[in-house]
Structure 1
Amino acid sequence: MARRSTERGGSSESRASREPPLSPEEQARALCLRLLTGTPRTRKQLADAMRKREIPDEVAEHVLERFQDVGLIDDQAFANSWVESRHRGRGLARRALAQELRHRGVDAELVNEAVGLLDHDQEEQTARELVARRLPGTRGLDRDKRIRRLAGMLARKGYSEGLALRVVRDALTAEGQEADSGDEPWD
């Protein structure tokens, strides 16, 4: 294998061998800083990344504690920011947001606090806005199919069946179509 020459005349392999290898703590710190540079991360996400790199658990725990002490890791701030961003940007309901946060390793108590920041009125208003955006695209379909599609879209975003059906039927009624509450459209 050919060696690359560096500007100072030595090969990159020989220069790398002259630098002492990083200690596990230095590796852990560098990894955490690199991961936190791009986007906020949860404590669990950082711990998983260090475990994948085979950094000893006690070293990882020490680095995570230190980062948490200085405020570089804050799962509560992460959860609050995540809820606001994903609710505004994607229209996700509390149930879907809670699931995403749990998947990222946020503690259940912190998840409940973060999703509790969304009130029912705000969630319902977001559902109404989502339906209003999608409603015109369903105009050529029959009433039951429109209800299924629009309520299904809301369900995939984490809205309850009751809220989804109420919002969709209200929107169809406002549009001038009668949306009677007869047969359940979920078949």
Structure 2
Amino acid sequence: MSQNHTENGGAGHERNRAYDASLRLLAARARSRAELAERLHRKGHADTVVAPLLDDLERAGLLDDADFAEQWVYFRHRDGARSRRALGVELRRKGVDDAVIEQAVAQISDDDERGRAAALVRRTLSRRRAPVADDADAARREQRRLVGMLARKGYGSELAYGVVMDEWRAAAEERAADGG
């Protein structure tokens, strides 16, 4: 850190407080530059302290929007089954630059996205009791619910509908093969 970090009183004291707050926030989880700035401002730290501090944190490698976005995309896609579109929206809300977002979501291929959506539908179908084969209205309602679930996670309607219908057929075939 700079010489100000070790000064006592005045601006040095505020910088120390902002620095300590930054480290606590970053220890909890990675954050974007804009997100950390907003949190520090909310804690009452002046921009004259926050902006240079964030620059120092970036130079030290403790704050990196590209790394943050890459991690965010990886975990939110894997664990939250979010689509590229939904992840882009989330990162934009966190103040990440569009070029950085584009690069981060590019790590998810079309096949990855489709596969993640299919796995989510399979998992959901395995937990629910499927409608009786001759109850077409109940089947359509359940299919609409599944498409809606994927839509809420940011998947486009064409992909969501295709995945739901494919997984629905596969589940029906599996039930038929199992005798039920």
Q: Same fold (TM over 0.5)?
A: yes
What residue in structure 1 maps to residue 130 of structure 2?
Answer: 139
1:155 and 2:146 are equivalent in the alignment: no
1:176 to partner: Cα distance: 3.4
Q: CA-to-partner distance for each residue in 1:94-153, whole Å, 9 max, x for gaps?
A: 111111111111111111111111000000011111111112315027221121011111
> What's 1:170 paired with?
166
Aligned length: 159
Question: Structure 1: how far apart are the matches of 2:110 and 2:143?
Answer: 22
Q: Deviations over 1:12-53 (max 9, x none)?
A: xxxxxxx95762222221111111111111111111122122
Q: In 2, distance between residues paired with 1:152 and 1:171?
A: 15
Instruction: Give the 3 Å change call, closer, same or farther, for CA 164–123 of structure 1 in structure 2.
Output: same
How much does 1:57 deviate?
1.1
Give every structure 1 segment of 4 or more consecutive aligned residues whose post-TM-superposition deviation is greater than 4 Å.
19-22
In 1, Cα distance between equivalents of 2:32 and 2:114: 29
Q: Which moved more, 1:59-68 or 1:131-140?
A: 131-140
Unaligned runs of at least 5 residues, structure 2: 1-7, 133-137, 174-180
User: What is the root-mean-square deviation in Å for CA atoms of aligned residues?
Assistant: 1.8
Q: Name the CA distance, whole Å, in 1 between partners of 2:47 and 2:111.
A: 44
Q: What's the % identity of the aligned pairs?
A: 37
- Whether contact under 8 Å (1:28, 1:55) holds in the other structure is yes
TM-score by length of 2: 0.82
Tell whether the 8 Å contact from 1:138 to 1:146 is kept in structure 2 after alignment.
no
Would the aligned equivalents of 2:18 and 2:45 in 1 still touch at CA under 8 Å? yes
Shift of 1:62: 0.6
Tell me how far apart the structure 2 counterparts of residues 102 and 138 of structure 1 sit (CA, whole Å).
Answer: 38
- When structure 1 is superposed on structure 2, of 89-98 and 139-148 the one drifting more is 139-148
CA distance in 2, matches of 1:172, 1:38: 40
State which structure, 1 or 2, has the greater radius of gyration over its C-alpha atoms.
1
User: 2:77, 2:104 → 1: CA distance?
Assistant: 12
State the distance in 1 between where 2:56 and 2:164 align: 49
Structure 1 unaligned residues grouped into runs of 5+: 1-18, 178-187
Inter-partner Cα distance in structure 1 for 2:54 and 2:142: 50
Letter in 1 for 2:166: D
Q: 2 CA distance for matches of 1:154 and 1:101?
A: 19
CA distance in 1, matches of 2:59, 2:74: 25
Q: TM (normalized to structure 1)?
A: 0.79
